[in-house]
Chain A
């Protein structure tokens, strides 16, 4: 175990040189790359935290917007409900108006139908009444009634008013005119002569007269002087009566 000062001194120098070498070629590069990696990791972590913070902020903003959207939605729904209620009210009012109009129209139609029905019933009643009267009068249509109606005919012809006389005269003035006299029963010669004389007085001239028997008249006479006609029979009287009833209804 010898102590060599040269070795001792050189070992000290060698070690100091080795310290420098390892510091230059080992510790510094390795520590640098570790520091760079650590910086990268820290930067990544910082970025991650920043992204997390941004994500949190974005989440909060989204939540706020969602809350605002919920409010807007509720307000819109409230407005929609109000509009629907108003629209429903308007439609209900229109429907009620339409229903009222329809009801009024139906009422008018019902009234008209009722009126028509009533009128039909009345006409039927009138017709039945007329038929009944006709049957009843046909049973009382006797030559005696015919004689009575003949008297009334003569009376009417003699009692014509002035304007009627003028009309009869104008009608009789037609050239080639032939008077027609219809009767329910056959007229004897005496009555024919008397009637011809009364007609001549009424027309103011003597015209040929055609006599014809018409049982449909029931009783009485139907005298035609051109367009001028004198009714003195039950059939025409019933017609006048029925027409008057219809007009009255």
Chain B
């Protein structure tokens, strides 16, 4: 996979096609959401019904994993799902490449998930009580906890990058080898793969955050059980 082309420089920053595509996605999402949610009514039309269905589905999915915290996690997890899905589907359009085919992008998202896990964990229970779960059930496991934090973040970034990059590369190879119409089934597979990868990334992020918030609750529950015993 070749490096992303630099479109222009903004001061010391070299703006690549990936960043420009991301801005395009952001601009399109902003315009769409602003236009679609300007006149929401209690008697919804088809577009409002679709938007409410999407948001409600995301909220329900979060609530199923972490009951009672859906309102808190909805902006972060929901944006992950929407952004990754749209970015993945951009790869279908000829001439455009999915930003998720760039390791810098997926690494950035993975790093955000990494910090979000700790942010929500600390926000939920406080620094000291959150950090205590690294010593549970035994301080001996602290190195393994730390290694797990790093490796799962790296896996998160590499999994999404590898799948999308390989998907686009496979489509390109098939197009070069078999002609114009042969990649059509592969493009249909691209839609499924893009959706699945977005879902996996968002769901893993949700599970990590939920683990950070629930691990503290489990620790407290265990301590309460020991105290009662």
Residues of A within 8 A of B (CB): 1-12, 14-23, 25-27, 29-34, 36-37, 40
Most chain A CB atoms below 10 A, which of B34, B37, B99, B103: B37
Contact B78 A27 (CB under 8 A): yes
Bound Cα distance A19, B202 (Å): 14
CB distance from A26 to the nearest CB of B (A): 4
CB distance from A27 to the nearest CB of B (A): 6
Contact B79 A19 (CB under 8 A): yes
Most chain A CB atoms below 10 A, which of B14, B15, B42, B165: B42
CB distance from B207 to the nearest CB of A (A): 19
Contact of A27 among B19, B55, B105 (CB under 8 A): B55
A37: chain B residues within 8 A (beta carbon): 42
Contact B3 A4 (CB under 8 A): yes
Contact of A15 among B3, B16, B34, B83 (CB under 8 A): B83
B29: chain A residues within 8 A (beta carbon): 18, 21-22
Contact A3 B103 (CB under 8 A): yes
B41: chain A residues within 8 A (beta carbon): 33
Contact A30 B107 (CB under 8 A): no
B interface secondary structure, majority: helix
Closest B residue by C-beta to A7: B104
Q: Is B112 an interface residue (CB 8 A)?
A: yes
- For window 1-58 of B, CB contacts with A under 8 Å fall at 1, 3-4, 13-16, 18-19, 22-23, 26, 29-30, 33-34, 37, 40-42, 44, 48, 51-52, 55-56
Chosen A-B contacts, 13 in total, with CB atoms closer than 8 Å, are A2-B3, A6-B15, A7-B4, A10-B15, A11-B108, A12-B108, A12-B111, A18-B79, A22-B78, A30-B40, A32-B40, A33-B41, A36-B42
Q: Is B82 an interface residue (CB 8 A)?
A: yes
Bound Cα distance A40, B41 (Å): 12
- For window 171-213 of B, CB contacts with A under 8 Å fall at none
Q: Is B102 an interface residue (CB 8 A)?
A: yes
CB distance from A108 to the nearest CB of B (A): 99
A34: chain B residues within 8 A (beta carbon): 52, 55-56
Residues of B within 8 A of A (CB): 1, 3-4, 13-16, 18-19, 22-23, 26, 29-30, 33-34, 37, 40-42, 44, 48, 51-52, 55-56, 59, 71, 74-76, 78-79, 82-83, 99, 102-105, 107-109, 111-112, 165
Contact B105 A11 (CB under 8 A): yes
Given A7-B102, A12-B108, A33-B42, A21 contacting B30 (CB threshold 8 A) = yes
A33: chain B residues within 8 A (beta carbon): 40-42, 44, 48, 52
Contact A26 B33 (CB under 8 A): yes
Closest 10 CB pairs of A and B: A11-B108, A25-B33, A7-B104, A29-B37, A23-B75, A8-B104, A26-B33, A33-B40, A12-B108, A2-B3
A31: chain B residues within 8 A (beta carbon): 55, 59, 71, 74
A25: chain B residues within 8 A (beta carbon): 30, 33-34, 37
Bound Cα distance A167, B210 (Å): 164
CB distance from A194 to the nearest CB of B (A): 156
Contact B102 A12 (CB under 8 A): no
A5: chain B residues within 8 A (beta carbon): 104
B42: chain A residues within 8 A (beta carbon): 33, 36-37, 40
CB distance from A7 to the nearest CB of B (A): 4
A27: chain B residues within 8 A (beta carbon): 55, 74-75, 78
Contact B19 A10 (CB under 8 A): yes
Contact A22 B75 (CB under 8 A): yes
Given A18-B83, A30-B52, A33-B42, A11 contacting B104 (CB threshold 8 A) = yes
